[in-house]
Amino acid sequence: MSVIHLTYEVSGDDFTRAGEASGLVKSKLKKLGYNKDAIRRVAIAMYEAEINMVIHADGGVVDVDIYPDKVEVVLADKGPGIPDVEKAMQEGFSTAPDNVRNLGFGAGMGLPNIKKYTDEMKIDTVLGVGTTMYITVLVKQ
Amino acid sequence: MTVKELAEKIGAEILTGKKSLDREVDGCYIGDLLSWVMGRAEMDNVWLTVMGNLNSIAVATLADVSCILLTENAALDNNAKARADMQDIAVLRTEENSYKTALKISELLKEAD
């Protein structure tokens, strides 16, 4: 059983609201007294994943489970799926459209950043059905 | 050195985040690609950029940088300003470019050590 369970909906194609869910999780963890490094890692990984949902999948649902020693985040979308996960994991590889790049995204660093900042990362993806990402950040108190 | 001291010493304008001006500055990162910044900038860095949009504020919040320093008089969007005020993110602005600004910051951080 997790200490706290949170669920957020991420709306598609709305960059102005992206980051709201990760911001809320950040404040929650701060109030609970989690260490700064862990909070930062969760916040960045979750934001990158949220942005991916906005860019590629018309939004989705984020479930967050907060335990004393770890934070688990599951991000599920009904987007197009990722044809080649290995390629998508490479730094610099991006399929983001130009309008997204003008906002400062699309550097091909999203998935690599998520991997960098989390302790576990798993992607289940089916073309035409959607993608679910599972990420875990361990917390050293 | 605090964000406020930094602003005073380099003559930067303080646009938002009056409550965060006492925050300590440690190091500096320059970049406009947001994921690059999130992957590489460190906590408490001054972030030099020309990106003054809403997403920059989100990145500053989540990456936990000490402040955003807009260089070359880059614009801060109105909705970004409102969000920065709401989330207590300090946004400063200078007319100098990022290179010259970073050189100054480097000197100031050396002095502060």
Nearest to B53 among A36, A103, A116 (CB): A103
Nearest to B57 by CA among B99, B16, B13: B16
Q: Do the chains contact at A19 and B55, CB–CB below 8 Å? A: yes
Q: How far is B37 from chain A (nearest CA, A)?
A: 10
Q: Do the chains contact at B43 and A40, CB–CB below 8 Å? A: yes
* Statement: residue A14 has pLDDT above 70: yes
**Residue A10 pLDDT:** 94
**Residue A141 pLDDT:** 66
Q: Do the chains contact at A15 and B39, CB–CB below 8 Å? A: no
Chain centroid to CA A30: 18
> Which residues of chain B register pLDDT less than 50?
none
Q: Say whether residue A78 is in contact with chain B using an 8 A CB cutoff.
A: no
* Statement: residue A2 has pLDDT above 80: no
User: Domain limits at A113?
Assistant: 4-138
Partners of residue B53 in chain A, C-beta under 8 Å: 103-104
A residues 50-69 lying closer than 8 A (beta carbon) to B: 51
The residues near A100 (Cβ < 8 Å, ≥ 6 apart) are: A15, A55, A106
* Statement: residue A33 has pLDDT above 90: yes
Strands (DSSP E) contained in chain B are 13-16, 28-30, 46-49, 67-70, 91-93
Mean pLDDT of chain A, nearest integer: 94
Q: Do the chains contact at A109 and B62, CB–CB below 8 Å? A: no
Counted domains in chain A? 1
Domains of chain B, by residue range, sit at: 3-108
Under the banding of pLDDT at 50, 70 and 90, the label for residue A1 is: low
Using CA atoms, how far apart are residues A116 and A111, in angstroms rounded to an integer?
A: 9
Q: How many inter-chain contacts (A to B, CB under 8 Å) are there?
A: 71
- If you classify domain B3-108 with CATH, what class do you get? alpha beta
Partners of residue B63 in chain A, C-beta under 8 Å: 40, 43-44
Q: Are the C-beta atoms of residues A107 and A94 closer than 8 Å to each other? A: yes
**Residue B112 pLDDT:** 85
What is the ipTM for the molecules in this complex? 0.85
**Residue B10 pLDDT:** 97
- Percentage of residues of chain B with pLDDT beyond 70: 100
Q: Do the chains contact at A22 and B33, CB–CB below 8 Å? A: no
Q: Provide the CATH number for the domain around residue A8.
A: 3.30.565.10
**Residue B113 pLDDT:** 77
